[in-house]
Amino acid sequence: MNIEPPTPSSQPPQPHPCAASLADALGKLLSQLSTALGDFDGVGQDLGHLEESLKKPMAQFQSRVLESAAQRRADQAEPICPRCARPLTRRQKLARSILTSQGEIELARVRGWCGKCRAWRCPADEALGVEGGHSPLVREMAALFASKMPLAEASVALGQLRGRVDLQSGQSGPLRPQRPRRCREVRDR
């Protein structure tokens, strides 16, 4: 049995379309990591201090990656009803915040009216699995935490895990926002 080695392609690999938009975020991340590592060289800091100082810049970068990729997927969603596959009418482009494991991201996506279902539909939300305003991973983490402890404690623990809490004071935001999130229309500038 002869196995031929792969032949090199005459075309160089093309970077992902999201890569260019993340270059500045990567530069900022490297600068913040350098600062955090420099601070760690100081006296009186243990590994926990370094972990805490790395958490925020890493989460911000990951949030930018998530937002860029999710926006690209939202832009690719066809304006058809995800339930009955009919074209949507009365389409609007709306912005929405989505809570992810790395913080909130902002997406602009198309919402339209399905005459057959007699409901407003947002195909991008369905494609991304974010109909409730939370990413699938956040919903999974919330369900796991809530199954293991009372909801109030689960909310604080999830906030700590996501880096949304000041560990000194123990203050954390709630797992769900107090007011319902509203979609707002995106206007071209």
The larger pLDDT score, comparing residue 178 to residue 10, is at: 10
Output Rg (C-alpha) for the chain, integer angstroms.
21
3-class secondary structure, 12: coil
Q: What is the mean pLDDT of the chain?
A: 81
Q: Which residue, 70, 145, 143, is CA-closest to 100?
A: 70
pLDDT computed for residue 110 by the predictor: 96
- Its pTM stands at 0.71
Interval 168-180: pLDDT, tens: 333 434 434 334 4
The larger pLDDT score, comparing residue 175 to residue 164, is at: 164
With cut-offs at 50, 70 and 90, classify the pLDDT of residue 5. low
Segment holding 67, helix H or strand E: helix 47-76
Amino acid at 100: T
> In which residue are the tokens 């031929």 written?
4
Q: Which residue, 107, 97, 18, is CA-closest to 65?
A: 18
Q: Which residue, 183, 18, 181, is CA-closest to 110?
A: 183
With cut-offs at 50, 70 and 90, classify the pLDDT of residue 69. very high
Surface-to-core class of residue 155, CB atoms within 10 Å of its CB (0-12 exposed, 13-18 middle, 19+ buried): buried
Q: Which residue, 103, 15, 97, is CA-closest to 57?
A: 103
Q: Give the range among 31-35, 58-62, 157-161 with minimum mean pLDDT.
A: 157-161
Instruction: Name the phi and psi angles at 12, rounded to 5.
Output: -70, 150
The larger pLDDT score, comparing residue 32 to residue 164, is at: 32
Q: Which residue, 125, 26, 136, is CA-closest to 71?
A: 125
Highest mean pLDDT among 11-20, 161-170, 177-186: 11-20
With cut-offs at 50, 70 and 90, classify the pLDDT of residue 10. low
Q: Say how far apart CA 175 and CA 25 lie, in whole Å.
A: 27
Interval 73-126: pLDDT, tens: 999 999 999 999 999 999 999 999 999 988 899 999 999 999 999 999 999 999
Q: Give me the sign of the Cα torsion angle 182, 71, 73, 70.
A: negative
pLDDT computed for residue 164 by the predictor: 53
pLDDT computed for residue 36 by the predictor: 85
